[in-house]
């Protein structure tokens, strides 16, 4: 089976035979797959009237388990954004009724951000829709190949996780 990446790699090989083009076969396909995933995420989230950044914050809270709450600092670590960005995001999610702020019982100056029932419903629906879309993206791969691909990607990403 051939695809457009094979064609572009062949064109580059013809024009630049001096270069090792092996990464093109991997990363051009990952890049194309990423575009399809971005579209699937956008559609899944739009069905629940949330943006990708909203999903990221709501999902971080949802994964903690009941009562679905985190400190803003912990949300920063979970979502990899700056403090100012997180403050803005929590403000906007609170205005939509997806999260509430409560005083931190362990820190008089701190707050806790908690997922509301509306926020839980939105993130649960969006996550189920996203999983459906992701299953469709993987539909042509047998389960054994999916597991192998996941293991290979884990190995490829491991050095970046360690650098955190």
> Tens digits of per-residue pLDDT, 89-145?
999 999 999 999 999 888 888 899 999 999 999 999 999 999 999 999 999 999 999
Residue 152 lies in a domain: no
d(CA 9, CA 54): 38
DSSP 158: H
Residue 145 lies in a domain: no
User: So what's the pLDDT on residue 79?
Assistant: 86
Q: Which single residue is written with the structure tokens 């539909």?
A: 139
Residue 87 lies in a domain: yes
For 24, list phi and psi in degrees, rounded to 5: -60, -40
The CATH number that applies at residue 18 is 1.10.10.10
Residue 148 lies in a domain: no
For 68, list phi and psi in degrees, rounded to 5: 60, 60
Q: What is the pTM of this model?
A: 0.85
Residue 73 lies in a domain: yes
Cis before 71? omega within 30: no
Give me the number of domains the chain comprises.
Answer: 1
User: Residue 93 belongs to what domain range?
Assistant: 4-138
Residue 64 lies in a domain: yes
Instruction: Tell me the pLDDT tens digit for each residue of 48-98.
Output: 999 999 999 999 999 999 999 999 889 988 888 888 888 899 999 999 999
Residue 158 lies in a domain: no
Q: What's the burial of 89, exposed, middle or buried (CB within 10 Å: 0-12/13-18/19+)?
A: buried
Residue 89 lies in a domain: yes
């Amino acid at each position: 089976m051939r695809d457009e990446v094979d064609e572009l790699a062949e064109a580059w090989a013809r024009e630049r035979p001096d270069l090792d083009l092996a990464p093109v076969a991997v990363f051009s396909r990952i890049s194309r797959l990423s575009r399809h995933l971005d579209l699937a995420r956008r559609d899944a989230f739009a069905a629940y009237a949330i943006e990708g950044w909203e999903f990221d914050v709501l999902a971080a809270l949802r994964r903690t388990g009941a009562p679905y709450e985190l400190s803003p600092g912990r949300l920063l670590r979970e979502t990899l954004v700056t403090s100012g960005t997180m403050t803005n995001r929590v403000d906007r999610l609170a205005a939509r009724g997806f999260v509430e702020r409560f005083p931190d019982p362990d820190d008089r100056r701190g707050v806790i951000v908690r997922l509301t029932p509306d926020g839980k419903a939105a993130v649960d629906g969006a996550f189920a829709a996203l999983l459906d879309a992701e299953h469709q993206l993987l539909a042509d791969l047998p389960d054994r190949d999916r597991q192998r691909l996941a293991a290979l990607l884990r190995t490829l990403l491991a050095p970046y996780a360690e650098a955190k």
